[in-house]
Structures are given as C-alpha cells and as structure tokens.
C-alpha cells in the first residue's frame, strides 16, 4: 500500500466546474490520502462529506471530488481515508459514489455520467432502492440508516 499526500492531487477548474485529478497511478486497494476533517457541522452542504449520522465535515481539497455511478475511489469515513476502487491511471479524474457517504443531500442534481448503472438523480442513499445500493461500497452510517428506514417501512405495512 502506498499512502500519498494531497500534493499528488490537483484541483482543476473549468468555468465554475471543479474536478480532482491525480498525478500518479494507483493499484486497486491503495490508500490515496487521508480525508481531512475541518469544521464539522450537523447539516450538509455542497462542500461537506457525511461521516456519521449527524456529522458533516468540510474536506478541504477533496470537496472537488465529483460523483460517479461507476467511481474509481471510495471514501471510507471510518478510517477517514480515500481508497482506490480499481487501478487508476496518471491524469485520471477521481470520483466517488456520493450516496456511499450521503444520506440526504442538500443540493441534489442529475447525473450524466453515462455509466450503464447510472442512478440519474443523485440526492442521497435514502432515495435509492436497495438493489442499487447493494452494488456499492457503503459506509456504516449509511447501512445503519438504510436498515432503520426498512424497519420503519415494514412497521407501516404490518
């Protein structure tokens, strides 16, 4: 495993659109960098990542990470690390699956990633069917809230 610093990641800006690009290659499973945790809040915004039920943290440079339905990195909010989900080439844009950390997003949007598994509306895990979520790495707080939602739904049916 190679743990690298933020220096290998570049934030690219085109008009108002930002992206995060890597200057080096990674193997699947590599730790890319630590997730910085600055200014924890109990509400999400466009620059935060959800790390627990009521905790949303500003992640510095990592706020430039875009969503993909077929992402190349995972954000592990338990270890507070960014991990390569597959082999990554030098110059590739890094992206992660937002619902893997976000339960209910403050600024939902339409995804145009073009992946065959595209979820189209990116609004948080609570709006996705289980059959979609189970194809993705999910953090513990998302799994817990998903189980809670399912249990409440079953109570309503019975």
Q: SS3 for 18-33, per residue?
A: EEEEECCCECCCCEEE
From 24, 40, 46, select the one nearest 94 (Cα to Cα): 24
Q: Which of 63, 54, 59 is nearest to 80 (CA)?
A: 59
From the list 20, 32, 51, 69, which residue makes contact with Zn ion (rule: CB under 5 A)? 69
Within positions 1 to 60, which residues make up the interface with Zn ion, using CB under 5 A? none
Residue 57 or 101: the one with the smaller Cβ distance to Zn ion is 101
Taking the complex as a whole, the smallest distance from the CB of residue 95 to Zn ion amounts, in Å, to 10
**Site membership for Zn ion, residue 113 (CB under 5 A):** yes
Distance of alpha carbon 82 from alpha carbon 23, whole angstroms: 15
Q: Which of 111, 127, 128, 144 binds Zn ion (CB under 5 A)?
A: 111
Give 141's DSSP letter.
Answer: H
Residue 56 in tokens: 């949303």
Q: Is 118 a binder of Zn ion (CB under 5 A)? A: yes
Name the segment binding Zn ion (CB under 5 A); options: 33-41, 88-96, 107-115, 141-149: 107-115
Q: Which is nearer to Zn ion, 69 or 94 (CB)?
A: 69
Q: Which two tokens stand for residue 144?
A: 């817990």
Q: Identify which range of 66-74, 77-85, 99-107, 130-138 contacts Zn ion by CB under 5 A.
A: 66-74
Structure tokens at 37: 């945790």
| Residues binding Zn ion (CB under 5 A) | 69, 111, 113, 118
């Amino acid at each position: 495993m190679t743990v690298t610093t933020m220096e290998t990641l570049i934030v690219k800006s085109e008009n108002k659109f930002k992206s995060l690009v890597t200057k080096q290659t990674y193997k699947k499973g590599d730790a890319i960098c630590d997730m910085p945790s600055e200014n924890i809040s109990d509400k999400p915004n466009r620059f935060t990542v959800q790390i627990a039920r009521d905790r949303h943290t500003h992640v510095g440079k990592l706020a430039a990470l875009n969503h993909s339905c077929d992402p190349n990195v995972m954000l592990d909010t338990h270890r507070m690390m960014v991990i390569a989900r597959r082999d990554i080439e030098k110059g590739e844009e890094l992206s992660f699956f937002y619902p893997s950390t976000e339960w209910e997003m403050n600024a939902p949007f339409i995804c145009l990633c073009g992946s065959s598994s595209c979820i189209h509306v990116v609004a948080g895990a609570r709006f996705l069917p289980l059959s979609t979520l189970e194809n993705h790495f999910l953090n513990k707080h998302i799994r817990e809230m998903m189980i809670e939602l399912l249990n409440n739904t079953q109570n309503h049916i019975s």
